[in-house]
Amino acid sequence: MTPSIVKKTSPYIRKETSTKRMMFDVLIALTPVTFFSIYKYGLDALVRILISLVVFILTELIYFLATTKVEGYTFKEKLQAKFKKYSINHFSAPAVSGLIYAMLLPDKLSLYVVFMGALFGAFVGKMIFGGLGYNIFNPAALGRVFIAVTFAGFFQGSYGFVDQTSGATALSMGFPNAFNAYRLTDLFVGNIPGAMGEVHSLLILVGAIYLIIRKSADFRPMVSALVIFTVLTTIAGIILYPYHVVEYVLFHLLSGGLLFGLAFMVTDPVTSPITRPGRWYYGLIIGTLIFMIRTFGALPEGVAFAILIANVLVPIIDYPRWATNRFTKKFFLTYGLSFALICVISFLVLGGYTI
């Protein structure tokens, strides 16, 4: 028997990571921040988490049952056959999206708004493209941005988009007001206002490390986005707050949804590039957009918006004519020049050079 030849990149012997294992790893990584949100916000958090999960899971289930073709003579036989084909992958994937979406919400947000955002994220963000593995937008981010724009009256400030009964987030308070109101340790352990799953930086980092160790998340877009954002924020701090640069940088790193987005949304394997160099570019774009929105835009936060914009650019990043899975001299030159150019432009726009 002639062996078949499979064209793939090195290493040629590797442990396959199934979709089921990846999804369960993400759920495990989300467990600490989920329990903390329930501990901090109580029943308000639990109800909103359950609504998000139920809507995401049921939307995908109903879509699967409606579009799957099976053999059978009666409606009952066909329905049973469809349920047999409904795998654990079809359950775990929407559960992940639903839980991430819930963690982006404030604890007092109207239940109607929670429901509408989950429905939009699940159906428009995923099912309308064909379901599992075919969506181009991150469903949780799309649902979150949808309700922020459509139901703006329920929110106050910006992303964090905390509703009027909850008050402003630490990020929307601005610098140095937030640092005067809260200690640095408060930013690490969640003693600040904000979205339910975004406030405890330490638990988010624990989840991110777990995903990287388990190889259920690629570190490349995380690191790329974090490094460019940190460098740009440092430049801004030197120009705007020369005597409080470290505090300014830490404030932006630990406030809002930056760390949560990098750990659980930027690493989404469906909506991120498939090539390794492409993921470095992807992170560079996201980190830059977050900085631009926070610094030059009308909103103090910008993680979900940045991710959705970058999602649109993924087909360009992965375009076969120039995309490759190898790290070439061209990649290092292009990435390095892009990184430097972004830093120089930001420096000039911020007023770092005057004649």
C-alpha span between 181 and 322 (Å, rounded): 49
**Average pLDDT of the residues in 115-131:** 88
C-alpha span between 171 and 295 (Å, rounded): 12
Residue 318 has pLDDT above 60, yes or no: yes
Taking alpha carbons only, the member of 265, 282, 254, 221 closest to residue 125 is 265
Taking alpha carbons only, the member of 300, 181, 291 closest to residue 226 is 291
User: 3-class SS at 335?
Assistant: helix
pLDDT reported for residue 279: 94
Taking alpha carbons only, the member of 56, 33, 307 closest to residue 196 is 33
- Least confident range from 75-84, 109-118, 331-340: namely 75-84
Residue 5 has pLDDT above 60, yes or no: no
C-alpha span between 210 and 186 (Å, rounded): 23
Positive or negative, the CA dihedral 316, 318, 320, 321 is: positive
Residue 1 has pLDDT above 50, yes or no: no
Report pLDDT digits (tens) over 10-66: 333 344 456 778 888 999 999 999 999 999 999 999 999 999 999 999 988 888 777
pLDDT reported for residue 155: 65
pLDDT reported for residue 266: 92
Residue type, 46: L
Question: pLDDT confidence of 167, banded at 50, 70, 90?
Answer: very low
**Helices 111-123 & 139-150, crossing angle to 10 degrees?**
130
Neighbours of 128 (CB within 10 A): 12
pLDDT reported for residue 88: 53
- Least confident range from 73-87, 224-238, 332-346: namely 73-87
Residue 77 has pLDDT above 80, yes or no: no
Pair of tokens at residue 224: 């790329």
- Could you tell me which CATH class the domain 19-349 is placed in? mainly alpha
Please give the backbone phi and psi of residue 155, each rounded to the nearest 5 degrees, phi first. Answer: -120, 160
Q: CB-based burial of residue 147 (10 Å sphere; 0-12 exposed, 13-18 middle, 19+ buried)?
A: buried
pLDDT reported for residue 6: 45
Residue type, 343: C
Residue 309 has pLDDT above 50, yes or no: yes
- What residue ranges in 191-308 does DSSP mark as E strands? none
pLDDT reported for residue 86: 57
More confident site: 285 or 324:
285
Positive or negative, the CA dihedral 69, 71, 73, 79 is: negative
The residues, ordered by sequence, that sit 6+ positions from 321 with a Cβ below 8 Å of its Cβ are: none
pTM as predicted = 0.85
Taking alpha carbons only, the member of 221, 264, 8, 20 closest to residue 132 is 20
pLDDT reported for residue 105: 92
Report pLDDT digits (tens) over 240-283: 888 889 988 988 898 888 999 999 999 888 888 999 999 999 99
